[in-house]
Structure 1
């Protein structure tokens, strides 16, 4: 069940991140981030309320605090990621952030007492090259020194994963509300400091609102870490670049290069091994 929910998390992240990426083609990324998080906040209130009515919940200050800290970490990850991409370093930033996101929560789980069987270990080892091949591109401007942006992004997203995993199972989904509140506030500060206009073309605004659906990925992730170990759930949840690659093929008819096809295949192998 945990791996199934983690795989669903990857699907949600991939689909809704792709929508956000489409929105940024005609609008500033931080304006898109602001509006997507506003929609995410509205959805999080709806999700938390429905979950509470169906299953009940007892939320503590600690649960809310972890949610808020995770929201700040998520925005920090986005800032590092897009700053790196803005400097033309996608070939370095994207794979480094993906590998960091997969490995840091896994190592955190292991160091805090989680133990895994042999096949999941092999799956984690396979996941690293799978992620690299799926998102890496070859350009003449590659500069490994810019990997710091990818590392910063990966650490931000990793802290988000680790923070959300600290929430108690009795908290229901109320943690998503401070998570999105912190994300909206952080994105709002960035927009204000950089004096970025919040007005978006109609299509970009629609796509930004659609990207707010990524809160569904936070929902399935929270459920996944209640059923299974953080380390393996985080690795399985980080395979969303494969979903983005598939979306690019379906929407833009982008023919994936051979190494990306290999990455997609290895992603499926890694997920299967972790599930076993």
Structure 2
């Protein structure tokens, strides 16, 4: 039950971080938002290291850095797919793959959740697919390349979950430190190579910093959840984060939710309930 609570809280915090990141990109370039939010997350995890101590080990850093590289690759491909494809195709493909890959991996290595929990996994993946849909987006730019990039991007995010779950027990937040150092390095190098400005837009720095801190807080929750529960269940619960982003967009910005997205939010709640009762 503890792992379910942590994973569900992680999804809520991830969704809130994405919501704030989306607000920030209205005033700043994407690379500036990503790089600066990651730096804020790095500062946050450095502040937490003395509070949530763990034993340093090279293995913890290496697993964390591997996870960070997978996550950074997924992020770059995701933004490329959004820029060159259709959001209503790219977003659900990425989100569904990021949920499906850890589930498949967990089952492959011998995890055997209870039947009711497996039913919850199926409902959860369906929920991710539904809440990520945007029926109002056009389909004129839909091509095979962005779809493939979206699928690989989702696999990168799923890889982040898998690799981070392999961090040795008792190493505290050292894996997350390694992950953030690796991802920041990749993002900054790409920004420099493509000559993208990293200066935030006026009035957006606080929002960017809040997004980065919440993203790292979600990573902390995921790390603890993965250490206490089955990867095939924890990762799929975490992947429900688009539901909280949608709810915030509805009640903070007044955005209209489409019926298919409302159905996805309901399915997400059902999935959490099923997995929690297992």
Same-fold status (TM-score > 0.5): yes
Q: Counterpart of 2:35?
A: 34
Q: Counterpart of 2:78?
A: 81
Return the offset for 1:255.
1.8
* In structure 2, C-alpha distance between the alignment counterparts of 1:162 and 1:99, rounded to whole Å: 15
* In structure 2, C-alpha distance between the alignment counterparts of 1:200 and 1:150, rounded to whole Å: 27
Q: Counterpart of 1:218?
A: 219
Return the offset for 1:71.
1.0
Q: Name the structure where helix makes up a greater proportion of residues.
A: 1
* In structure 2, C-alpha distance between the alignment counterparts of 1:4 and 1:127, rounded to whole Å: 15
Return the offset for 1:202.
3.0
Q: Counterpart of 1:134?
A: 131
Q: Counterpart of 2:92?
A: 95
Return the offset for 1:238.
0.4
Note the residue ranges of structure 2 that are not aligned, 5 or more in a row. none
* In structure 1, C-alpha distance between the alignment counterparts of 2:204 and 2:74, rounded to whole Å: 22
Note the residue ranges of structure 1 that are not aligned, 5 or more in a row. none
Q: 1:124 to 1:142 in 2, by over 3 A?
A: farther
Q: Counterpart of 2:61?
A: 64
* In structure 1, C-alpha distance between the alignment counterparts of 2:49 and 2:202, rounded to whole Å: 29
Q: Counterpart of 2:161?
A: 161
Q: SS in structure 2 opposite 1:221?
A: helix
Return the offset for 1:177.
1.1
Q: SS in structure 2 opposite 1:4?
A: helix
* In structure 2, C-alpha distance between the alignment counterparts of 1:59 and 1:199, rounded to whole Å: 34
Return the offset for 1:247.
0.9
The count of residues paired between Structure 1 and Structure 2 equals: 272
Return the offset for 1:143.
2.5
Q: 1:93 to 1:140 in 2, by over 3 A?
A: closer
**Where in structure 2 are the equivalents of 1:1-276 lying within 5 Å?**
1-52=2-53, 57-138=54-135, 139-141=138-140, 143=142, 145=144, 146-213=146-213, 214-276=215-277
Return the offset for 1:183.
1.4
Deviations 1:84-113 (A, max 9, x none): 111242111100111101110011011111
TM-score (norm 2): 0.95
Return the offset for 1:144.
5.8
Q: SS in structure 1 opposite 2:249?
A: helix
* In structure 1, C-alpha distance between the alignment counterparts of 2:272 and 2:234, rounded to whole Å: 10
The root-mean-square deviation of aligned C-alpha atoms, in Å, is 1.2
TM-score (norm 1): 0.95
